[in-house]
Structure 1
Amino acid sequence: MESPDLSPDPSSWRASVPESTATDLENLLGTGMAAAQEQLERSGGFLPFALVMENAGDVRLVAVSPADPDADGDGEFDADGMIRDVTELLRQHRDEFRAAAIVCDITLVEEDSDAIHVATEHRDGAVFAAVLPYSPNSEGTEWEFGDLAADSNEPVIWPD
């Protein structure tokens, strides 16, 4: 599986951050997109998760267990609750890593499509997010992915 093309563009956000920061965020973004695509293709969906770039440069997966989907009777996982939990976990341990990405499945209402959303954040204050729309092909046997697009993002792990 190919990672999204996130090559440098001098007119982009990349030009406004240090090279090492941009490299960390692009690494997490590409890894997050690829992992979510793999889960979609393997399982037909994915639960929210995070990736961190440890201080030494290693990338590590961070996940939380979903609450019992039948606890409230609707049989669905609380993805928003999982995102809140993983965000809080990242905040509590932010001294152990230099960058993080939160990966989740979203709905693009205007496009009437689902999308992989990856929000990256660096401890130096840089943020970058992207979305990758997807839908089942006409036979419903494989996923078709749209064009990777930048998205807005606010810092949540290092908010100050």
Structure 2
Amino acid sequence: MVSWRDQASQQAQDDLDGLLDPAIGFAQQQLEKYHEFYPYAVVVDEGGDHRMVAAEVGSEQPASADLITTLIASLSVQRDHLRAVAIVADVRLSDQGTDGIRVTLEHAEGVALSVVLPYRVRRLGRGINYGDLQASEAVAFIWAR
């Protein structure tokens, strides 16, 4: 079976690998503190620097889908100045009966992956139990071909 790594440059591999930890780490911090989080992105710019990006839609409790749509639109406009993007969302994994941190990773070279970290809030909100990371191919939105 051919892996995405077999077709990606070393820089693309490093960029995507470098996005996963901060993307999941911030989500875990938010879950520990608030038991939820709004979608956000972590990007690698053309110079190799990382930064976090949030979307504003103008309401106190915006729908996650609206934030993701706004993030995709904003990042698509900036894509010529970006090398890689991770869009992070709090999702319901109905087939597993739990929630998950979904990180959709994209690279300018055309690689698109989805990584999901299942989680469950412990009884009475006393911490979070995490499952195993699950990875699969994804549809590209920022660098859609």
**TM-score between both structures, scaled by the size of structure 2:** 0.92
How much has 1:77 moved relative to structure 2? Answer: 2.8
Moved more, 136-145 or 53-62: 136-145
The Cα shift of 1:16 comes to 2.8
Count matched residues: 145
8 Å Cα contact 1:51-1:100 kept in structure 2: yes
Selected match of 1:134 from 96, 119, 137: 119
Tell me, yes or no, if structure 1 residue 29 matches structure 2 residue 14.
Answer: no
Q: Of Structure 1 and Structure 2, which has the larger fraction of its residues in helix?
A: 2
Provide the secondary structure at the position in 2 that maps to 1:61: strand
In the superposition, the TM-score normalised over structure 1's length comes to 0.84
Structure 1 regions of 5+ residues with no counterpart?
Answer: 1-9, 70-75
Which of 29, 45, 65 pairs up with 1:80? Answer: 65
Runs (5+) with no aligned partner, structure 2: none
Helix, strand or coil at the partner of 2:70? helix
Aligned to 2:143: 158
Give 1:11 deviation, angstroms.
Answer: 6.2
More divergent stretch after superposition (83-92 vs 12-21): 12-21
**One-letter amino acid of the counterpart of residue 106, structure 1:** V
Percent of aligned positions that are identical: 34
In terms of fraction of residues, the more strand-rich structure is 2
Conserved 8 A contact 1:67-1:78: no
Q: Deviations over 1:27-81 (max 9, x none)?
A: 1122101111111112221100011101111101111124424xxxxxx531001
CA distance in 1, matches of 2:4, 2:144: 19
Q: Aligned partners of 1:139, 1:101: CA distance in 2, in Å?
A: 31
SS at match of 1:52: strand
Q: Which residue of 2 aligns with 1:146?
A: 131
Among candidates 45, 51, 55, match of residue 54 of structure 1: 45
1:39 lines up with 2:30 in the alignment: yes
The structure whose Rg is larger is: 1
Judge conservation of contact 2:57–2:70 (CA < 8 Å) in 1.
Answer: no
Q: Is the 8 A contact 1:53 1:60 kept in 2?
A: yes
TM-superposed CA distance for 1:149, in Å, is 0.6
Of the three residues 84, 90, 108, the one matched with 2:93 is: 108
**Alpha-carbon separation, structure 1, partners of 2:27 and 2:52:** 12
CA contact (8 A) 1:29 1:119 kept: no
Cα distance in 1 between the residues matched to 2:37 and 2:136: 20
